[in-house]
């Protein structure tokens, strides 16, 4: 019987879930894989957490060196989050000849290359399925099952907190601030929600996923990022009338002209498969030249779903002797030869508050026409809030360049005295 010892760095939500899976399913892995995986050590400053999970006191390490020098530990699971001290601990483990399984998206996104070099040098493995989309097995699907394809695009709902907030705003007609507060009190959103609501979390994941999809390093810094804090319940309601659902999308595209990577709120047709991904669920919609469209759906976070991804990596690592590393130069330097498209094309939803009088709409369409923007839909809605001669005028454009929209919005503000653009939301085409 092959014996494999693991150490877990951090026994928070995900670390605790991982510990539970490994201990409760230990006999299953012996039967199915012929490998006895035991938790030999944990590193957790809050001893009470470890003891509450049933960890024997003798297995609680007081520092990383104890774990690195423990000959019973073969694999180190890092679930601490953040860059430091996680980075130093992971490097110490790799340099001590331990394979590492990590769920740390920020660390892998920013320092994946450095960690991989250390893994390579020490002939050990570095696994990171849990960095992206929790329990949804997207990384191995891309690395193994879909590797025969040229992947042309990946569109994901890869942040559960924002998907939960946007779903609640849509279903209950409540404001962003109100729903955020509720989500925080229920523990669905962090006390400091910045990383989720401003799109950083999704951008780290998009950097990792699109690098694998397109076989080239996609640095975090090259990802356009916009969060959900300015989305209003009014726009969600108008979007609904037009047959759209609002989502925070992470979009990666690889075309001849260059790579496009962006995270921002977007209206999605209600008939698109991503539109039905609600609450805190996640999904990635991948297009490959052979397979066409594939959508993977599931829980993107949580103790057991993320633990599932981690344990999958642990078993993979425990049952493979040959480790695999990136097949492309995964460095920021290599990325300098990649052309990134920043003036991307999209359809746009524009909401204007306009004077309700003859000729006003034609002034707006004339400005749009000046910048080559063609209108696909127009809706005028006098709602309860705007009966003082102003109307909400909603226009959806055909696909156009982002720069055209920016120029047109500025020109409307300057050239049309009683009309202003209050919202601009991209629409997935």
Shortest CB 82 distance to ligand HSE, Å: 13
Residues 345-374 that bind ligand HSE (CB under 6 A): none
Shortest CB 186 distance to ligand HSE, Å: 13
> Of 176 and 238, which CB lies nearer to ligand HSE in the complex structure?
176
Q: Nearest 5°: phi and psi at 51?
A: -65, -40
For residues 149 to 168, the per-residue mask of contacts with ligand HSE, x marking binding by CB under 6 A and - elsewhere, is ----------xxx-------
| Gyration radius of the chain over CA positions | 24
Tokens representing residue 192 in the block: 């400091």
What angle, rounded to 10 degrees, do the helices at 360-370 and 402-415 form?
A: 140
> Of 81 and 329, which CB lies nearer to ligand HSE in the complex structure?
81
Is residue 308 at the binding interface for ligand HSE, with CB under 6 A as the rule? no
> Of 199 and 288, which CB lies nearer to ligand HSE in the complex structure?
199
Catalytic residue check, 407 = no
Picking from 162, 319, 136, the residue whose alpha carbon sits closest to that of residue 226 is 162
> Of 10 and 160, which CB lies nearer to ligand HSE in the complex structure?
160
> Of 201 and 260, which CB lies nearer to ligand HSE in the complex structure?
201
Shortest CB 322 distance to ligand HSE, Å: 29
Is residue 106 at the binding interface for ligand HSE, with CB under 6 A as the rule? no
Q: Return the sign of the alpha-carbon dihedral for residues 377, 380, 381, 386.
A: positive
- Among the listed residues 110, 168, 205, 247, the single catalytic one is 205
Q: Nearest 5°: phi and psi at 288?
A: -120, 155
Alpha carbon distance 395, 381 (integer Å): 11
Picking from 143, 144, 141, 149, the residue whose alpha carbon sits closest to that of residue 292 is 149
Tokens representing residue 368 in the block: 């749009």
> Of 204 and 214, which CB lies nearer to ligand HSE in the complex structure?
204
User: How many residues in the shown chain lie near ligand HSE by CB under 6 A?
Assistant: 7
Q: Return the sign of the alpha-carbon dihedral for residues 216, 93, 86, 35.
A: positive
Shortest CB 283 distance to ligand HSE, Å: 12
Is residue 300 at the binding interface for ligand HSE, with CB under 6 A as the rule? yes
Beta bridge partners, 275, equal none
- The span from the first CA to the last CA of the chain, in angstroms, equals 54
For residues 114 to 153, the per-residue mask of contacts with ligand HSE, x marking binding by CB under 6 A and - elsewhere, is ----------------------------------------
CB 302 within 8 A of CB 134: yes
The 3-class secondary structure across 241-289, one letter per residue, is: HCCEEEEEEEEEEEECCEEEEEEEEEEEECCCHHHHCCCCEEEEEEEEC
For residue 310, say if its preceding peptide bond is cis, omega within 30 degrees of 0.
no
Shortest CB 181 distance to ligand HSE, Å: 16
Tokens representing residue 369 in the block: 């026409």
CB 393 within 8 A of CB 361: yes
Is residue 78 at the binding interface for ligand HSE, with CB under 6 A as the rule? no
Is residue 196 at the binding interface for ligand HSE, with CB under 6 A as the rule? yes
> Of 5 and 137, which CB lies nearer to ligand HSE in the complex structure?
137
> Of 159 and 330, which CB lies nearer to ligand HSE in the complex structure?
159
Q: Return the residue of 64, 138, 301, 367 that touches ligand HSE, per CB under 6 A.
A: 301
Is residue 15 at the binding interface for ligand HSE, with CB under 6 A as the rule? no
Is residue 201 at the binding interface for ligand HSE, with CB under 6 A as the rule? yes
Question: Looking at residue 131, what DSSP letter applies?
Answer: G
Shortest CB 162 distance to ligand HSE, Å: 7
Q: Return the sign of the alpha-carbon dihedral for residues 249, 250, 255, 260.
A: positive
Shortest CB 280 distance to ligand HSE, Å: 7
What's the distance, CA 3 to chain centroid? Answer: 35
Shortest CB 240 distance to ligand HSE, Å: 24
For ligand HSE, the binding residues (CB under 6 A) are 159-161, 196, 201, 300-301
Residues that are catalytic = 205
């Amino acid at each position: 019987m092959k014996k494999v010892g693991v150490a877990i760095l951090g026994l928070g939500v995900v670390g605790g879930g991982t510990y539970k899976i490994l201990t409760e399913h230990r006999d299953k892995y012996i039967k199915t894989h012929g490998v006895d995986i035991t938790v030999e050590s944990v590193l957790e400053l809050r001893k009470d957490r470890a003891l509450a999970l049933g960890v024997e006191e003798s297995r609680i390490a007081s520092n990383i060196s104890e774990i690195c020098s423990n000959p019973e530990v073969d694999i180190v699971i890092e679930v601490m989050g953040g860059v430091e001290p996680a980075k130093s601990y992971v490097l110490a483990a790799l340099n001590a000849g331990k394979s590492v399984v990590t769920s740390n998206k920020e660390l892998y996104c920013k320092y994946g290359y450095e960690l991989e070099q250390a893994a390579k040098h020490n002939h050990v493995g570095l696994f990171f399925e849990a960095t992206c989309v929790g329990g949804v097995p997207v990384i191995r699907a891309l690395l193994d099952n879909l590797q025969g394809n040229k992947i042309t695009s990946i569109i994901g709902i890869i942040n559960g907190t924002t998907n939960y907030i946007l779903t609640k705003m849509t279903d209950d007609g409540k404001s962003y601030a109100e729903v955020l507060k509720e989500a925080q009190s229920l523990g669905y959103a962090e006390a400091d929600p910045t990383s989720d609501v401003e799109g950083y979390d999704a951008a780290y994941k998009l950097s990792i996923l699109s690098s694998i999809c397109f076989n080239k390093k996609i640095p975090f810094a090259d990802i356009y990022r916009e969060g959900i804090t300015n989305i209003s319940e009014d726009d969600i309601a108008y979007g609904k009338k037009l047959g759209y659902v609002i989502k925070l999308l992470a979009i990666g595209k690889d075309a001849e002209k260059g790579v496009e990577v962006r995270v921002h709120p977007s209206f999605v047709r209600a008939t698109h498969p991503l539109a039905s991904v609600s609450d805190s669920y996640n999904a990635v919609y991948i297009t490959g030249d052979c397979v066409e469209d594939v959508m993977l759906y599931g829980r993107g976070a949580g103790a057991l779903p993320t633990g599932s991804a981690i344990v999958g990596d642990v078993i993979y690592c425990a049952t493979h002797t040959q480790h695999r590393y990136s097949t492309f130069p995964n460095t920021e330097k290599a990325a300098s030869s990649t052309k990134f498209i920043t003036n991307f094309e999209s359809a746009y939803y524009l909401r204007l508050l306009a004077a309700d009088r003859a000729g006003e709409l034609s002034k707006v369409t004339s400005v749009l026409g000046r910048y080559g923007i063609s209108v696909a839909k127009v809706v005028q809605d006098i709602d309860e809030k705007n009966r003082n001669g102003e109307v909400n005028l909603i226009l959806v454009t055909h696909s156009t360049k982002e720069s055209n929209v920016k120029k047109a919005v500025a020109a409307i503000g300057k050239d049309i005295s009683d009309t202003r653009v209050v919202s601009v939301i991209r629409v997935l085409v």
